[in-house]
Structure 1
Amino acid sequence: MKYIVLFLSIVLSSFAFAADFQKGADAFKTEDYALAMEELSPLAEQGDAEAQFYLGVMYFKGSGVSQDYEAATKWSTLAAEQGHARAQHILGLLYRYAEGDKRDYLEATKWFRLSAEQGEAPAQSNLGDMYRYGIGVPQDDAAAVKWIKLAAEGNYVPAQFNLGSLYQSGQGVSQDLDYAEIWYQVAAEQGFEKAKIKLAQLRSPESYNIQDDLKYGLEAQKKGDYSEALAELYPLAMQGSAEAQFALGVMYRRAQGVTKDEAVAQKWTLFAAEQNHVEAQYFLGIMYQFGFGVTEDHDTAVEWYKLAAAQGHIESGGNLKKMALLRFVE
């Protein structure tokens, strides 16, 4: 008899647990966050991954509570370690966009990958971004296309826009404006405003002014919105914009939203310098003079300084004089 009582007690407890969870989840969906927190907190404390996920989201977004990234990380980690795909994605975001020393691109990539491999489309899209820009992983166009395409085919709208961008710029795929238009159209039909703008530009190229996109990207970089800056500037750089190429060089040199990489910085700076971008020529001079991302080579530094100085760049002229005093210039 006592076993029957114990069994019934367990069953009733399970029903109560499920009822409490459903009440909390429903409250979350109707934005009654106080009730959601009241119902879900005890369940999260008992180790329920779904409840932990909801708490992580509330602290991440500041929904019904003060925004608290430490608490968001705590609860998201507990759920993620139990294999919760959406919590793994949230944890990736927390590590990617954390402030200062707490930012960890390797951890972000790890959690994005675990989530993406479970089919979570937003995580697939973010993992694709990490490969696209070389954040926390070596830059890999093929991997970027693979993951972004999976997310796009899973109807994740930002990924559909990004796939259109890849086809428009020819990054990792053969440039195909027809495919670019198709994916922009799919995203635009779901209300993605940037896709509507790109679609209009593709369909009326005579009215498109690259300077508008460039200005937007540079302003985003200046404001510290590096994800937006990358999204705007990278395709422009791929299409040959010297200003965008130089800006990317700066971003990789200063670790602005990307893993610091002097070699990649040198690559983009060189592309811009070869198009006679004076600041890029000056920075190449610095890179070769002091060996930042390249083998130190004073002769090459002098050549780039001379090109910049010929365009009236004062600092380049000053560096030439200093190098002359040090007998680097005949």
Structure 2
Amino acid sequence: MNIQIIEKVIDVFNQYGDTIRFDIERFEEVLNDLAFNMMDECYLVVLGMKLGVFEAMIFDEDFEMSRYVDYLCQYASLKEEEALFMVSVYAHLIESIGYYFEIPDIENFLRQAYQEQNFSHLYVLARTYFLGFGVTQDYEKAFEIFSYLHDNGILESCYYLGYMYEHGDGVEQDIAKALAYYREQCDSQSSLRLGLFYMYGQYVEQDSNQAMHYFLNSHEKESYLYQGILLERQKDYSSAFQAYLKGAKCFQKDCLYKTGLLLKLGLGVELNMDDAIHYLTYGYYLLHEECAYELAMLYFDGVALKKDVKKALQYLHQAARLNSYEACLLLSQFYELGRYVKKHHGYALSYYQQAQMIKEGKEKAYEII
């Protein structure tokens, strides 16, 4: 499966307008013509639209990838790999295109909810303003409603109030208040935030044990990633692998990469190249740049996979487009030396500059942490 189908679908929308998706036969015809070398990918994209999956995802406020994958496997008889690819393509299409719709009369709904003291409706509306889902994002309005809910004993609002205080969204930044709200109702989301505070020493003294405590209390799929990172720091690779594997089962893309990498290296788990390729491929479907790079290297090496320079270069170029530092550096060398590709000093310089920009961006991100 080739993630470049995303670009082809966007090209179709740009050329014919987004509404072509409602004329599925025409959309299928145009897409097949444009992506004639990706028939399997075209089939899955069109099938999902016929099944209404794309439309459902557009209007899904609480999108969870695994839920759609399970549904497609059970009711559309798709293989897990096919289902994941379809859902991932749609998720990135929706993010790229930026679908926007408005909930009519939302202010009337809000007034009515206040009048009736309907806290469940107020909570939904607060999240709507917080997320900007069906309404222009308005943190101040969200803060106002969540504060009202908190004053009335609705502690589910604590995470959102903590988040807004942490980031200064809709209210002046106040880390002490953010921590207080996170700790008041230490649910799954709040636990993840507190774990990150202690893991990186943000606003509190760095404490790996406290960080792990909070990550273990969280059911957010990202918590498995941070558990694994902490365990790797302790050289407990076996436990780290198990943590990453839990995240990978939830399709957390960094966990998919880490799981595949440890399987490839035989670190903390018995070496298994077939399983490594499986998880790296899933990570590639989720547009993970290092998964694409690792797959490129496997095709270059010709050990676990049959050597295929053409496929290797395809994965390598896609990894570079996804901002893989290693991929950009390697392509720079290839174009400079004329290895596998025609020598081109302009391309070599361009990829080298991109690699440096990626490196500088990561260093700045690390400094912020």
TM-score by length of 2: 0.44
Give the TM-score taking structure 1 as reference length: 0.49
Higher RCO, Cα 8 Å, sep 6+:
2
Report the structure number with the largest CA radius of gyration.
1
